Structure 1
Amino acid sequence: MPSTKTLSTNNRRLNDLGGGTVGGLIARRAAGHPDKSAIVTPTGSMTYGELDLTASRVAAGLTGLGLEVGDSVAILMRNRIEWIAAWAGAARCGFVCVPVNTAYKGTFLLHALQLTSARVIITEPAFLPALEEVTAELAHPVHVVCINSSEPATAPMENDSSVPRVIGWSDLEKQADADYSAPELNPHDVAMIALTSGTTGRSKGVVCPHQMLTVAARENVEAMETQSWDRLYTCLPLFHGAALLNITLHGIYAGAAVVIGDRFSASRLWTDVKANGITMFNALGSVLPMLLAQPPRADDRNNPVRKVFAAPAPPEVLMPFEDRFDLHIVEGYGLSEIKNVTYNPLTGRKIGSIGKPTRTTELQIQSENGEPLAPGAVGEIVYRPRTSGVMYTHYLADPEATIASMRDLWWRTGDLGYADDDGFYYFVDRKKDALRRRGENISSYEVESVLLSFPGITEAAAVGTPSELGEDEVLAVIGTDNPDNLNLDALYEHCDQRLPHFMVPRYFRVLADLPRTPTGKIRKAELRSGGVTDLTWDSHAAGRKPTRVI
């Protein structure tokens, strides 16, 4: 392994290569190390030289279909090598990549394609039925490119002449002009439209320039001190920025190898990690609690991983996870519109914090009136960039939402937090999820963190529900791998010992699966509307005396 001096030199070299376009970054990596492993997936792998060549071939093929710079290319596929090829090819020739959630169908899928005016949809056979239901309703012409399709290249999706014909992945290259030359792109050109979760309405299209993506990759490298000999892993879906930017483009920026799993499996993750020599992976939501809930093994600490990027990673999860698996967790904070904007430093971190702003980031905590608040005071986290091109440009076809997100030249995150005297930031809650009980403000995030620290709990949501006193009570909705063995009395005691009395949930409900948006976020509005049911456990029920009066 390289010396510390060599690592420092490598980091300076990587920083000097930052910025630019996604296609340009891939080309630079290929020029420097064409035979080095770049991408490994269950369906194939590519070196940096092969990735660069494939990007050019896909770009030429898409251009041969009649697309022009700025046209949108939707990708509706599971994690596989063609996903990366399609994304790299679109980026190479100035087309706009639209990653589409594989759970989308019906109106969700129609809205995604209609909003982004996707001219080409690159997909696989499993999703053709969902596309058949919506493509005839599109107001613009569209090509469908299907990988591994058994249908002939001219076969229609159905007999309706208004529905586009399907061409196979191998046929895409036949569309290419042999003299094709990729256009020269500007780092401020649009690279991607990210679709938001749609928790408060229809998904918005977040318009992201190339420079936003490449700077996000550079700041990942800087925060994690990633080296070219690292092997990065993700099993999160590529349509999500956590997999596409925080691991895949991050690894490409570092000139490292990126291993992409087909899906998350708590029982299989460590096997995959060890088999591939993984040194770094990422985790979102309930991934860390689900891994902790697995039965301990004698070789848990015998793994090659040295760092994990996780959001969130509350202390109740972070510390036992690090101790059990002998690694270092870096927590950070970001949103689709502004990329990751904080990281907890590798040296001198504060556990429980989301870290300090990156060098392109300025943050502030503001009151409801937009006034800056002193350290320790809770308010809305607001953001603005220190340089151009590192945040989204606008919400597609939604100027009202774009304007509403800004106030006094600050972008409003909709999240509550605070900063300390040392410049570390702390996440408290989403503004819309914050609870108030007995005159006290409650962070659902903090309640959920304590719930997730109880053995066997894999996911949790804390929401308000009306009580007989006219105020909200706290309802904890939880998921577990083994509901028959879950002791709710013990879970209540666990919360009662760790939370202020006004934050302890009164009600507990166990669900096999918590309702989620197509991008995996828990639908808290649905849980709130469901309220207390016959299957809800009440800590105040007759015969059950809480440890403290709430």
Structure 2
Amino acid sequence: MGDLDRNLVEPVDVVKRFPPAERVLPVLLRRQAERYGDRRLLVFGDTVWSFADTARIAAASARTLADAGLRHGDRVAILCSNRPEFLRVYLGCAWLGIIAVPINLALRGGQLEHVLRNAGPSLLVVEDASIPALDTIDSKLLPEMVWIVGDAAPPETPAGWSGLPELGESIAPGAVRPGDTVAILYTSGTTGPAKGVCCPQAQMFWWGVYSARALGIREGETLLTTLPLFHTNALNAFYQAILNGCTYVLEPKFSASRFWDSIRRHEANVGYLLGAMAAILLAQPERPEDSEHKLRVALGGGVPARFHDVFLKRFNVPLLDGYGSTETNFAFASPIPSDHPGSLGYLAAGIEALIVDENDAPVPDGVSGELLLRPTEAYSFATGYYNMPEKTVEAWRNLWFHSGDRVVREPGGHYRFIDRIKDTIRRRGENVSSWDVEQILLAHPAIGACAVYPLPSELGEDEVAAAIQFEPGATLTPEEVLRHCEDRLAYFALPRFLTFVEAMPLTENGKISKPTLRERGRRPETWDREKSGYQVKR
């Protein structure tokens, strides 16, 4: 057993209901369709799918993919916002054993090119609003087949481009196994390009189990998420609903001004917040009806401790502390409400953890080190990084997944996050690779050296900061630096803070000392994008 044995509700005993060989999406959908029939599963605006509808849509969507020549193991890239068509394509892929490759909508230029080059999709499904992003990349990287979602397609499209096919006849499920990859989810690299995490069918099943267990989800509840489907959180919430006979309400995106209205309208019981979202909601004007709703709990991973009690008092909603990653699963969770707000919580049953030093040797409780994780349930973690064998071996060395996070296990059994060993910045629920940002900055001929690092914001999370040293005789304004980056980086990766320096602080071995830059923080000469009035293109 793990360290946490309190406040957990086994979600409808789904582990016993679905033995290991049946932890694949086609079985889950068909079995739950028989069990729940016309009960609502998906709600998106005016679109409603029952459990029975969803199984039929998955089988019919799979038919369109098969008719297009796609087979088990092929990749389908999805560049689409939160909408039913995204799930339709994902379900069709999972039904046949085709691999879905959701793409972050903010990617542009080299970042988008890398994903397409690495994944090598046979088909791209792109929302009409995202077609302009394709103009920022080499067209040779696009697959021959492109399906467009929406009604605003360009008047002229290349051969092989068409609208999303209409649904027709169903097809039988493919020979799908629990260890087969159902999705490749790209997570930002720290010392190199983004890595495609190979998520097996059973990992998504276990995401549904562990998350529902931590949140205490009960059969028939309504789960509402505003998080993007191209990340694991919103996807695994869909599995929580499937496994527990719940209704999954998908909103287009997070809106602080509309969040509580949506919670009330849908009578949601469970919500999903990350990082600064709780602080943003608290910053809204107080309303008499703030606590008038049916929300029982909200995921609050990464929400700073100081916001927990305030959130509970104002909205009457406890926040669940937790920790997971695309490569692993919902590994830690707190009780509801948290007994140590702002911590990671306690280790989940079915997962093992070690805190180690630089030599992978365990350290005692109370001493910080790198967090290592491994599962005891088959295929409940990712199986590696797609087309990156060296990175896979590096991350899973000694048969443990190395998180790159510095963590301490307290004597009472709860785990506390200290900082990131890896050079990653976490901003508004997105991982930002400092390496990616630095490469874009260094591509400008006026920039001789740069360093990208996190600085804290008013909301208690990371903001992207950059120190820049110009080539001799060269200079740029902050606005010129941002304009250089805008078409080459996702908007969330654009630096907020810019500091122009005469020389970089260096370590003894001649490398730029990012700890020194972080310790300096915001200096009088530091330019702040949010205070400057600069408008970021999205």
TM, length-normalised to structure 2 = 0.77
Structure-2 residue corresponding to 1:482: none
After alignment, is 18-27 or 225-234 more displaced?
A: 18-27
For structure 2, the residue ranges without an aligned partner over 5 or more in a row are 1-6, 426-452, 469-481, 500-513, 529-538
Q: Pick closer, same or farther for the CA change 1:465–1:521 going to 2, 3 Å.
A: closer
Structure-1 residue corresponding to 2:412: 422
Give CA-to-partner distance per residue, 1:230-257, whole Å, 9 cap, x none. Answer: 1111111111112111x22222221100
Q: Pick closer, same or farther for the CA change 1:430–1:347 going to 2, 3 Å.
A: same
Q: Post-superposition shift, 1:143?
A: 1.4
Residue 305 of structure 2 corresponds to residue 303 of structure 1: no
Residue 98 of structure 2 corresponds to residue 95 of structure 1: yes
Structure-2 residue corresponding to 1:194: 185
Q: Is the 8 A contact 2:128 2:150 kept in 1?
A: yes
Q: Post-superposition shift, 1:183?
A: 1.6
Which entry has the higher C-alpha Rg, 1 or 2?
1
Q: Secondary structure at the match of 1:422?
A: coil
Structure-2 residue corresponding to 1:161: none
Q: Pick closer, same or farther for the CA change 1:216–1:181 going to 2, 3 Å.
A: same
Structure-1 residue corresponding to 2:150: 148
Q: How does 1:80-91 map to 2 (within 5 A)?
A: 80-91=83-94
Residue 115 of structure 2 corresponds to residue 125 of structure 1: no
> How far apart are the structure 1 equivalents of 2:54 and 2:8?
28
Residue 214 of structure 2 corresponds to residue 212 of structure 1: no
Q: Is the 8 A contact 1:156 1:166 kept in 2?
A: no
Q: Pick closer, same or farther for the CA change 1:421–1:285 going to 2, 3 Å.
A: same
Structure-1 residue corresponding to 2:476: none
Structure-1 residue corresponding to 2:42: 39
Q: Pick closer, same or farther for the CA change 1:380–1:278 going to 2, 3 Å.
A: same
Q: How does 1:124-523 map to 2 (within 5 A)?
A: 124-131=127-134, 134=137, 136-138=139-141, 141-149=143-151, 157-158=157-158, 164-169=159-164, 171-173=165-167, 180-245=171-236, 247-346=237-336, 349-432=339-422, 448=456, 452=458, 457=459, 460-461=462-463, 518=490, 520=492
Q: Pick closer, same or farther for the CA change 1:351–1:142 going to 2, 3 Å.
A: same
Structure-1 residue corresponding to 2:14: 14
Aligned length: 458
Give CA-to-partner distance per residue, 1:416-457, whole Å, 9 cap, x none. Answer: 01012232111111114699xxxxxxxx99x95xx65xxxx4
Structure-1 residue corresponding to 2:534: none
Among 110, 114, 118, the alignment partner of 2:117 is 114
> How far apart are the structure 1 equivalents of 2:56 and 2:138?
31
Q: Post-superposition shift, 1:9?
A: 9.6
Give CA-to-partner distance per residue, 1:230-286, whole Å, 9 cap, x none. Answer: 1111111111112111x2222222110011111111111111111111111111121
Q: Is the 8 A contact 1:76 1:124 kept in 2?
A: yes
Q: Post-superposition shift, 1:535?
A: 4.9
Q: Pick closer, same or farther for the CA change 1:143–1:173 going to 2, 3 Å.
A: farther
Q: Post-superposition shift, 1:39?
A: 0.7
Q: Pick closer, same or farther for the CA change 1:465–1:102 going to 2, 3 Å.
A: closer
Amino acid at match of 1:157: T
Amino acid at match of 2:234: A
TM, length-normalised to structure 1 = 0.76
> How far apart are the structure 1 equivalents of 2:41 and 2:161?
30
> How far apart are the structure 1 equivalents of 2:390 and 2:186?
17
Q: Pick closer, same or farther for the CA change 1:135–1:68 going to 2, 3 Å.
A: farther
Q: Is the 8 A contact 1:77 1:124 kept in 2?
A: yes
Give CA-to-partner distance per residue, 1:20-65, whole Å, 9 cap, x none. Answer: 1122212221111120111111362211111110000000110000
Structure-1 residue corresponding to 2:428: none
Amino acid at match of 1:129: P
> How far apart are the structure 1 equivalents of 2:400 and 2:406?
15
Q: Pick closer, same or farther for the CA change 1:400–1:151 going to 2, 3 Å.
A: closer
Among 49, 53, 63, the alignment partner of 1:50 is 53
> How far apart are the structure 1 equivalents of 2:191 and 2:402?
16
Larger relative contact order (Cα-Cα within 8 Å, sequence gap ≥ 6): 2
Q: Post-superposition shift, 1:518?
A: 3.8
After alignment, is 426-435 or 316-325 more displaced?
A: 426-435
Among 24, 30, 34, the alignment partner of 2:33 is 30
Give CA-to-partner distance per residue, 1:321-364, whole Å, 9 cap, x none. Answer: 11111012111111111122111123773323211122221011
Structure-2 residue corresponding to 1:59: 62
Q: Is the 8 A contact 2:12 2:244 kept in 1?
A: no
Structure-2 residue corresponding to 1:486: none
